[in-house]
Structure 1
């Protein structure tokens, strides 16, 4: 009689902890650079000036809706739609993880902006309505990174083929990059705000991953 041997899943928590530590170090470096005027923050005005000079009607027409998708309203609607879809498919664990990740990132965004209180680029350069919140870190970059990162994470821990997992990761990176770069292009944020948003998004994704694996277990749906 042939015996089936269960192959234990690799514990990803040590790797996630290492990634979170590295990303937190990058975020801290960016935060110090903005507070003290060190590199790379010293190059922020030049990058913004270049983005303004490089503006083109077609790019602007794309950047505006892209940046809206990464805003509070856009991500709230997307999160609600995806959670509803997951619940209808019986994936309540995934819906819980996504909702919890997005609520946490939203609260963390507000907290960090109040802590650093960095001014945004001049409204004279802005393409759009002025924002009322502080600049560092970019909430659009942070929250979009968390949203697409969680979805990519679902694919990475699933039984999907390696090609589909790679495609999910690439799509998540491209979506996060598009929203973040649109913030610089439209002059809502400095480049270091966006880089910090991506860095803290990776930290938060790793924390969510560790908590999910610890509390909910590695079960795949």
Structure 2
């Protein structure tokens, strides 16, 4: 016979599923908005025009490093570096979660861009070379959200001090927002592209969380007799006091 052991803990999966559903709903609303050019998407040209007019040399100098860090090459190198560090520290599960989350978000980015095939802002507004992919959703916003979100999740669900958890969450939010805004500032994306990237990133993070919690909650199997044994009668050992 085998015994099943499962550590009792609060099940966060229903909450994560609810948040994921809400985030997907926001993404769907944005998708419909951009498809028909109404609601929030109607303000996209005005937002981009205003952003272009407000450009400043110092802001541009900051926007470029941010947008490069949130790009395919930047996030790939960061993911490989963090996964290597996690493996060196013996955190194989963390490395697997990060790698899996990033592979999934990258694949979803390509698929969603092909499905919606939305054009980017005019090339004349760009600061840089035109991009070859479609606009919706912003891959920078999506993938940066997943990368920073997973790392923040490692801290939030750890036993570290609350102050460090707050710091990790704040740093993740700052990185996600700044990278997304840099895409609007450089005129590579419309506002709704970035908002869609953030919303689908939140949904995907919740899905990853549900998967991780489901795997962790699977009962571990121990062979019969593998657990702690009570002392034999007459062994002369004192009983533990309650």
Separation in 1 of the partners of 2:216 and 2:71? 29
Runs of at least 5 residues in structure 1 that lack an aligned partner in the other structure: 1-6
User: 2: distance between equivalents of 1:32 and 1:165?
Assistant: 36
> Matched residue pairs, number?
213
Structure whose residues are more often helix by fraction: 1
Q: CA 1:22–1:37 in 2, change beyond 3 Å: closer, same or farther? A: same
Partner of 1:21: 21
1:85 and 2:85 matched: yes
1:4 maps to: none
Q: Does 1:181 align with 2:211?
A: no
Summarize deviations over 1:1-56 as a string: whole Å, max 9, x none: xxxxxx94321111100110110000000000000111100000000000000000
Q: Determine the C-alpha separation between the residues in 1 that align with 2:79 and 2:110.
A: 18
CA distance in 1, matches of 2:217, 2:60: 44
Aligned residue in 1 for 2:141: 141
In the other structure, the counterpart of 1:104 is 104
Aligned to 2:10: 10
2-structure distance, mates of 1:213, 1:179: 29
Match of 2:66 in 1: 66
The 1-side partners of 2:128 and 2:37 are apart by: 27
Q: Which residue pairs with 1:164 in the alignment? A: 164
CA distance in 1, matches of 2:45, 2:51: 10
Q: Within 2, Cα distance between the matches of 1:139 and 1:217?
A: 32
DSSP-derived class of the 1:40 partner = helix
Q: What is the CA-CA distance between 1:110 and the residue it aligns to? A: 0.2
Q: Is the 8 A contact 1:93 1:216 kept in 2?
A: no
What residue number does 2:227 align with? Answer: none
Q: Deviation string for 1:149-183 (max 9, x for gaps)?
A: 00000011100111111111111010000000000
TM-score (norm 1): 0.94
Q: 2: distance between equivalents of 1:217 and 1:45?
A: 48
Could you say which residue in structure 1 is the equivalent of 2:215? 215
Counterpart CA distance in 2 for 1:116 and 1:124 is 23
Normalised by the size of structure 2, how large is the TM-score?
Answer: 0.86
Moved over 6 A (4+): none
Tell me if 1:120 matches 2:131: no
Deviation string, structure 1 residues 43-80 (Cα, Å, up to 9, x no partner):
00000000000000000000001000000000000000
Q: What is the CA distance between 1:196 and its match in structure 2?
A: 0.1
Moved more, 11-20 or 139-148: 11-20
